[in-house]
């Protein structure tokens, strides 16, 4: 650069399984400790050896990490612990100045600190871990809602034929049950601004225009559409996760199901897009097509989804692993 000063390169590693805003917030803080952030994505084998199998594969975790706006470079198949050999590779080959990790203890199966070596040579820095979310906790939310569904199915089977279900009481129980695993996470306007700033690179939907606005449905709309056990992540959590993506310029926190004429005018929208893979695309032909207005205006387009993965397919992997079904 012009000043001739060397750019500080920092390294953060992790499993980044079921990518969540806690990971995004860790990477955001890591990036602020340097000029360039290199992220090591730990290999499937190393995760299995140190904490049990991840839900998402190396390839899937890599796509998610690379899509975050604070990430400049990635190292695939990183080791779980900073070994002498890997540390030298980071310093010499990748020109890393500091190795960063959250302020939670990261212990190896033998009880030793995974970052001990980096600490010893004074090349370790710490960021604040985000409370209230972790991959394990997300798996817990999915298992808890699967359990509730199983209990409910049991109850329905044993109820008398022809007896109408008391929907109100079912919904009442449900909201109480869901309250148990509601996240206490609340974003402040400062955190939203921190997540909003970032480098801009065009991709996919973004390539079709020069500003990508993402509408995030409210929790109420999601459970109406998908059933009372959804969403797994609440509106604020989903909003920050989407905002952490480098291709996103802005989010509507609590968008209605239908894209209305009002929205199109207010936000100056020139194209509305929807992926070919979704939890349910049946509505696209039905009466309640949420995209009826943009379609009638000739500004709707389907986008080929690059992968088949959905919330349901991820939940199925988790359930298969835990043999709940
Ligand atoms: N991290 C964080 N806040 C969280 C979760 C993770 O700051 N709520 C940080 C970790 O401290 C680490 C990085 O994100 O520096 C990558 O974490 P990862 O290896 O994926 O694992 P965990 O710490 O086990 O997080 P999780 O349980 O969510 O997988």
Question: Which residues have CB under 6 Å of ligand 1?
Answer: 12, 14-17, 22-23, 26, 101-102, 104, 129-130, 133-136
Percent of the chain with pLDDT over 70: 84
Domain boundary residue, one of 110, 127, 144: 127
CATH number at residue 253: 3.40.50.620
Residue corresponding to tokens 């989903």 = 238
The closest alpha carbon to 147, from 174, 169, 184, belongs to: 174
User: Of all residues in the chain, what percent are helix, strand and coil, respectively (each to 5)?
Assistant: 40, 15, 40
Q: Are 210 and 309 in the same domain?
A: yes
Residue 157 has pLDDT above 70, yes or no: no
Burial class (CB in 10 A: 0-12, 13-18, 19+), 74: middle
Domain boundary residue, one of 89, 112, 127: 127
Residue 62 has pLDDT above 90, yes or no: yes
What is the rounded distance in angstroms from the CA atom of residue 16 to the CA atom of residue 241? 13
- The pLDDT, as a whole number, for residue 144 is 86
In the 8-state DSSP scheme, what is residue 107?
A: B
The closest alpha carbon to 81, from 105, 116, 45, 122, belongs to: 116
Give, for ligand 1, the residue of 74, 129, 138 to mutate: max count of ligand atoms closer than 8 Å to Cβ.
129
Q: What is the band of 2 on the pLDDT scale with cuts at 50, 70, 90?
A: low
Which has more pLDDT, 175 or 153?
153
Domain boundary residue, one of 77, 106, 127: 127
* Ligand 1 atom nearest residue 13's Cα: 16
At 199, is the secondary structure helix, strand, or coil?
A: coil
* Ligand 1 atom nearest residue 127's Cα: 7
55 CA to centre of ligand 1 in angstroms: 15
Residue 163 has pLDDT above 50, yes or no: no
- The pLDDT, as a whole number, for residue 5 is 84
The answer to the question of residue 313 being in a domain is yes
Residue 150 has pLDDT above 80, yes or no: no
The answer to the question of residue 38 being in a domain is yes
Residue 164 has pLDDT above 70, yes or no: no
What is the rounded distance in angstroms from the CA atom of residue 126 to the CA atom of residue 104? 9
134 CA to centre of ligand 1 in angstroms: 7
The answer to the question of residue 207 being in a domain is yes
Q: Record the pTM.
A: 0.86
pLDDT per position as a tens digit, 93-111:
999 999 999 999 889 989 9
Per the structure block, which two tokens stand in for 50?
A: 């140190």
Per the structure block, which two tokens stand in for 310?
A: 């959905």
* Ligand 1 atom nearest residue 20's Cα: 28
Instruction: Give the range with max mean pLDDT: 32-36, 137-141, 182-186.
Output: 32-36
Total count of domains within the chain? 2
What is the rounded distance in angstroms from the CA atom of residue 134 to the CA atom of residue 322? 18
The answer to the question of residue 144 being in a domain is no
Residue 248 has pLDDT above 70, yes or no: yes
> Within 13 Å and on the Cβ side, how many CA atoms surround 86?
18
Q: Are 81 and 195 in the same domain?
A: no
**What is the mean pLDDT of the segment spanning 58-84?**
96
Which of 13-17, 69-73, 152-156, 267-271 is predicted least confidently?
A: 152-156
14 CA to centre of ligand 1 in angstroms: 7
What is the rounded distance in angstroms from the CA atom of residue 189 to the CA atom of residue 236? 11
Give, for ligand 1, the residue of 23, 108, 124, 140 to mutate: max count of ligand atoms closer than 8 Å to Cβ.
23
Closest residue by CA, ligand 1 atom 2? 129
What is the rounded distance in angstroms from the CA atom of residue 73 to the CA atom of residue 29? 16
**What is the mean pLDDT of the segment spanning 50-59?**
94
Q: Are 114 and 204 in the same domain?
A: no
* Ligand 1 atom nearest residue 135's Cα: 28
Q: Are 230 and 111 in the same domain?
A: no
Q: Are 105 and 193 in the same domain?
A: no
Give me the domain span that covers residue 85: 9-127
The answer to the question of residue 141 being in a domain is no
- The pLDDT, as a whole number, for residue 325 is 47
ipTM: 0.94
Residue 186 has pLDDT above 80, yes or no: no
Instruction: Give the range with max mean pLDDT: 2-6, 185-189, 296-300.
Output: 296-300
Residue corresponding to tokens 């279900």 = 165
Residue corresponding to tokens 């109420």 = 220
Residue 9 has pLDDT above 90, yes or no: yes
Which has more pLDDT, 75 or 312?
75
Q: Are 121 and 190 in the same domain?
A: no
């Amino acid at each position: 650069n012009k000043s001739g000063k060397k750019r500080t390169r920092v390294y953060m590693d992790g499993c980044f399984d079921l990518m969540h805003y806690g990971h995004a917030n860790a990477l955001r803080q890591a990036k602020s400790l340097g000029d360039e952030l290199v992220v090591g994505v730990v290999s499937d084998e190393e995760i299995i050896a140190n904490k049990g199998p991840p839900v998402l594969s190396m390839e899937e975790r890599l796509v998610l990490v690379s899509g975050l706006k604070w990430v400049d470079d990635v190292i695939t198949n990183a080791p779980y612990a900073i070994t002498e050999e890997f540390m030298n590779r980071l310093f010499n080959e990748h020109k890393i100045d500091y190795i960063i990790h959250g302020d939670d203890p990261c212990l190896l199966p033998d009880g030793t600190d995974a970052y001990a070596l980096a600490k010893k040579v004074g090349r370790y820095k710490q960021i604040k871990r985000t409370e209230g979310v972790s991959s394990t906790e997300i798996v817990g939310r999915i298992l808890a809602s699967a359990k509730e569904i199983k209990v409910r199915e049991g109850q329905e089977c044993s109820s008398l034929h022809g007896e109408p279900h008391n929907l109100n009481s079912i919904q009442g129980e449900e909201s109480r049950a869901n309250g148990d695993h509601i996240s206490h996470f609340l974003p402040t306007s400062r955190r939203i601004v921190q997540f909003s700033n970032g480098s801009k690179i065009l991709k996919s939907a973004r390539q079709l225009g020069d500003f990508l606005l993402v509408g995030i449905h409210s929790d109420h709309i999601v459970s109406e559409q998908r059933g009372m056990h959804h969403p797994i992540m609440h509106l604020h959590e989903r909003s920050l996760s989407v905002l952490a993506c480098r291709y996103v310029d802005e989010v509507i926190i609590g968008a209605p199901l239908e894209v209305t004429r009002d929205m199109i005018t207010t936000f100056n929208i020139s194209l509305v897009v929807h992926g070919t893979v979704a939890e349910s695309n049946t509505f696209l032909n039905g009466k309640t097509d949420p995209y009826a207005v943009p379609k009638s205006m000739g500004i709707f387009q389907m986008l080929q989804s690059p992968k088949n993965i959905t919330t349901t397919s991820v939940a199925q992997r988790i359930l298969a692993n835990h043999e709940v079904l």
